[in-house]
Amino acid sequence: MRDNMTNQELADLIFPNINKTIEDYEEIYPERNLKEGAKVVRFAPSPTGFMHIGNMMSATINYVLAKSSGGVFYLRNEDTDQARSVEGAVEFIYHTLNHYGINPDEYEFDGNIVGNYGPYIQSERMEIYHTFIKHLISIGRAYPCFLSSDELNQIREYQAKSKKRIGIYGRYAKFRDVSNEEAAQRIRNGEKFTIRFRSEGDFNRKFIFEDLTKGKIEMPENDIDVPIMKSENLLPTYHFAHVVDDHLMRTTHVVRGEEWMSSVPLHFELFKAFGFKMPKYIHTSLILKKDGDIIRKISKRKDPEALMFYYEEKGYPAIAVIDAVLTIANSNFEEWRQNHADTPFYEFPFSPKKMSSSGALFDLDKLDNISKNYLAKMKAEELYENYLTWAEKYDEHVYELIHKYKSDTVSFLNIERESKKPRKDYENYSSIFSKIWYMYDEEWDRELHYDFGCIQDKDEIVRIVREYLHNYYCETDSEEEWFLKVKELCDKMNYASNMKEYKENPTKYKGNVADFTTAIRVVLTTSSMTPNLYDIMKILGSKRMLKRLEIFQEKY
Q: How far is the CB of 518 from RNA (least distance, A)?
A: 5
Write phi, then psi, for 360 (nearest 5 degrees).
-110, 145
By rule CB under 7 A, what string of x and - marks binding of each residue 177-196 to RNA?
A: ---------------xxx--
If one asks whether residue 26 binds RNA (CB under 7 A), the answer comes out as no
**Amino acid residing at 412:** F
Q: How far is the CB of 366 from RNA (least distance, A)?
A: 4
Is residue 300 within 8 A of residue 50, CB to CB? The reply is: yes
By CB under 7 A, the residues from 229 to 258 that bind RNA are 230-232, 235, 237-238, 258
Q: How far is the CB of 83 from RNA (least distance, A)?
A: 8
Q: How far is the CB of 23 from RNA (least distance, A)?
A: 27
- For every residue of 110-145, DSSP letters joined together read TTEEESSS---BGGG-HHHHHHHHHHHHHTTSEEEE
Using the contact rule CB under 7 A, the part of the chain among 3-11, 101-109, 159-167, 302-310 near RNA is: 159-167
Q: Looking at 288, 388, 448, 454, which residue binds RNA (CB under 7 A)?
A: 288
Written in H, E and C, the secondary structure of 235-289 is CECHHHHHHHHHHHCCCCEEEEEHHHHHHHHHHHHHHHHHCCCCCEEEEECCEEE
What is the Cα–Cα distance from 404 to 502, expressed in whole angstroms? Answer: 44
Q: How far is the CB of 400 from RNA (least distance, A)?
A: 27
What is the Cα–Cα distance from 275 to 247, expressed in whole angstroms? Answer: 11
What is the Cα–Cα distance from 391 to 409, expressed in whole angstroms? Answer: 14
**Torsion sign, CA atoms 244, 194, 131, 125:** negative
| Nearer CB in complex with RNA: 38/514 | 514
Q: Looking at 95, 290, 340, 470, which residue binds RNA (CB under 7 A)?
A: 290
If one asks whether residue 351 binds RNA (CB under 7 A), the answer comes out as no
- Among residues 76, 24, 21, the alpha carbon closest in space to that of 46 is found at 76
If one asks whether residue 414 binds RNA (CB under 7 A), the answer comes out as no
If one asks whether residue 514 binds RNA (CB under 7 A), the answer comes out as yes
Q: How far is the CB of 429 from RNA (least distance, A)?
A: 17
> Is the omega angle on the peptide bond into residue 119 within 30 degrees of 0, that is, cis?
yes
If one asks whether residue 354 binds RNA (CB under 7 A), the answer comes out as yes
If one asks whether residue 411 binds RNA (CB under 7 A), the answer comes out as no
Q: Looking at 499, 504, 541, 547, which residue binds RNA (CB under 7 A)?
A: 499
If one asks whether residue 81 binds RNA (CB under 7 A), the answer comes out as yes
Using the contact rule CB under 7 A, the part of the chain among 105-113, 181-189, 341-349, 509-517 near RNA is: 509-517
Is residue 547 within 8 A of residue 530, CB to CB? The reply is: no
Angle at 542 between CA 536 and CA 547, to 5 degrees: 95
- Among residues 542, 28, 537, the alpha carbon closest in space to that of 244 is found at 28
Q: Looking at 533, 540, 545, 549, which residue binds RNA (CB under 7 A)?
A: 533
| Nearer CB in complex with RNA: 391/415 | 415
**Torsion sign, CA atoms 251, 254, 259, 260:** positive
What is the Cα–Cα distance from 244 to 227, expressed in whole angstroms? Answer: 15
| Nearer CB in complex with RNA: 272/377 | 377
If one asks whether residue 539 binds RNA (CB under 7 A), the answer comes out as no
Q: Looking at 214, 250, 406, 544, which residue binds RNA (CB under 7 A)?
A: 214
| Nearer CB in complex with RNA: 21/263 | 263
If one asks whether residue 220 binds RNA (CB under 7 A), the answer comes out as yes
- For every residue of 497-549, DSSP letters joined together read SSHHHHHH-GGGSSEEHHHHHHHHHHHHHS-S--S-HHHHHHHHHHHHHHHHH
Write 347-353 long-range contacts (CB < 8 A, 24+): 347/67, 347/68, 348/64, 348/68, 349/68, 350/61, 350/64, 350/65, 350/68, 352/212, 352/213, 352/282, 353/212, 353/213
If one asks whether residue 263 binds RNA (CB under 7 A), the answer comes out as yes
Q: Looking at 49, 404, 529, 541, which residue binds RNA (CB under 7 A)?
A: 529
By rule CB under 7 A, what string of x and - marks binding of each residue 89-128 to RNA?
A: ----------------------------------------
Size of the residue set binding RNA (CB under 7 A): 85
Q: Looking at 215, 293, 407, 476, which residue binds RNA (CB under 7 A)?
A: 215
If one asks whether residue 156 binds RNA (CB under 7 A), the answer comes out as yes
